[in-house]
Amino acid sequence: MNQRNRLTNPELSPGHASYITWENYRRGFQWRTAHSEGRELHRIEYPDFDGPDFFGRLIVLPPGQRSEVRKEPGDLVLLALEGDIEVTIGANIHVLKPLDLLAIPAGTAFSMANVGLPNGVVFGTFARGDGAVPEPRGEIQHMVWEQYRRDFRWTLPLAEQWGYHRGSGPLIRPEMLRGHTVRMPPGQTTPWHAPARDMMFMGISAEVEFAAGGGVWPLKRFDLLLIPAGTPYAYTNYGLSETVFLSIGGKLPPGRKSTYFAEDPGWPPREGVPVIEVEIDAHGDARVKNA
């Protein structure tokens, strides 16, 4: 059995972001080999980018290759990045094209195949289960970019007052994960906010700059960033092109939500920083109360 390649310690604490650039991450690739129906199967896997409740992994399927049939102990969200990947689940085939999202519930048998000519590249976010593979539960959710790109919501708390906007894609919602793609035009920024859950980000196109825990983290294509729960952060597009990135994390604890600040709270957060009172709407977006 191939030994798993991991990057970071899952024991995170507020303020200690984990970050790796694609230039460094790509050096950790490993070829994986499996056998199925008398055929030798090959794929490239990059190191696991670990958080306490989930981890991310970049996977490359060369042309004409597929994975073995497998089940995961936790929910899985796949983000297609390059090429066309066919994911077979039972009698159904889900064709993933760039920016498509697919949620596969824990315990569901699936396999992936690259039937095209370019490499197929996907990024998987794996929720941690309890070790045992459960019986399949939950629904498969396939979000097609050609369709869900029409459903971005272009707003932020106090957007009308500050003039800042970013496009929040619809959430993909397996039981153990919540995530979406985000679009941000040049010259835009977000309010400072502290999430109540660990958050992972992956750059897809152009560049966005995150500020968190007293550090600055430029996120370019395939760069990875993990911000622990309770750490205030903001992100800004200082470039000349629209940026697109993945934002994903675990399910919010019951009764918890992000804290939004009217100004940079510093690190460690200063006492008395004004807070923006928000509520979460049906789309998962933060709205100013009584706005």
* Residues 135, 169 within the same domain: no
Query: How far is C-alpha 104 from the geometric centre of its chain's CA atoms?
Result: 14
Bond preceding residue 268 cis, omega within 30 of 0: yes
How would you list the strands of the sheet with 92-96, edge to edge?
92-96, 85-89, 111-113
* Residues 164, 279 within the same domain: yes
Q: Residue 157 above 80 pLDDT?
A: no
**What's the mean per-residue pLDDT of the chain?**
92
Best CA proximity match to 76, nearest among 146, 8, 142: 142
* Residues 126, 226 within the same domain: no
* Residues 258, 155 within the same domain: yes
Number of domains in the chain: 2
Which of 128, 144, 160 is the last residue in one of the domains?
A: 144
User: Is there a domain that residue 6 lies in?
Assistant: no
* Residues 30, 135 within the same domain: yes
* Residues 241, 229 within the same domain: yes
Query: Averaged over 231-236, what is the pLDDT?
Result: 97
Inter-residue contact 177 to 124 (CB < 8 Å): no
CA–CA gap between residue 143 and residue 64 (Å, rounded): 25
- Parent domain of 39: 18-144
User: Is there a domain that residue 107 lies in?
Assistant: yes
Which of 76, 110, 144 is the last residue in one of the domains?
A: 144
- Provide the pLDDT confidence category of residue 1 given band limits of 50, 70 and 90: very low
* Residues 245, 282 within the same domain: yes
* Residues 140, 80 within the same domain: yes
User: Is there a domain that residue 189 lies in?
Assistant: yes
User: Is there a domain that residue 2 lies in?
Assistant: no
Percent of the chain scored above 90 by pLDDT?
Answer: 77
The CATH number covering residue 32 comes to 2.60.120.10
User: Is there a domain that residue 12 lies in?
Assistant: no
For position 16, what pLDDT does the model report? Answer: 87
Q: Residue 80 above 80 pLDDT?
A: yes
- Provide the pLDDT confidence category of residue 21 given band limits of 50, 70 and 90: very high
Phi-psi region of 99 (alpha: psi -120 to 50; beta: other; left: phi over 0): left
Q: Which two tokens stand for residue 10?
A: 């899952």
User: Is there a domain that residue 235 lies in?
Assistant: yes
* Residues 224, 270 within the same domain: yes
User: Is there a domain that residue 11 lies in?
Assistant: no
* Residues 133, 176 within the same domain: no
For position 7, what pLDDT does the model report? Answer: 64
Inter-residue contact 152 to 111 (CB < 8 Å): no
User: Is there a domain that residue 190 lies in?
Assistant: yes
For position 11, what pLDDT does the model report? Answer: 53
Best CA proximity match to 87, nearest among 54, 59, 48: 59
Of residues 257 and 83, the one with the higher pLDDT is 83
* Residues 122, 108 within the same domain: yes
Query: Averaged over 219-228, what is the pLDDT?
Result: 98
Q: Residue 3 above 70 pLDDT?
A: no
Which of 144, 165, 190 is the last residue in one of the domains?
A: 144
Q: Which two tokens stand for residue 66?
A: 């597929």
* Residues 166, 138 within the same domain: no
Among 128-132, 158-162, 270-274, the least confident range: 158-162
For position 2, what pLDDT does the model report? Answer: 46
Among 5-19, 128-142, 175-189, 197-211, the least confident range: 5-19
Of residues 11 and 186, the one with the higher pLDDT is 186
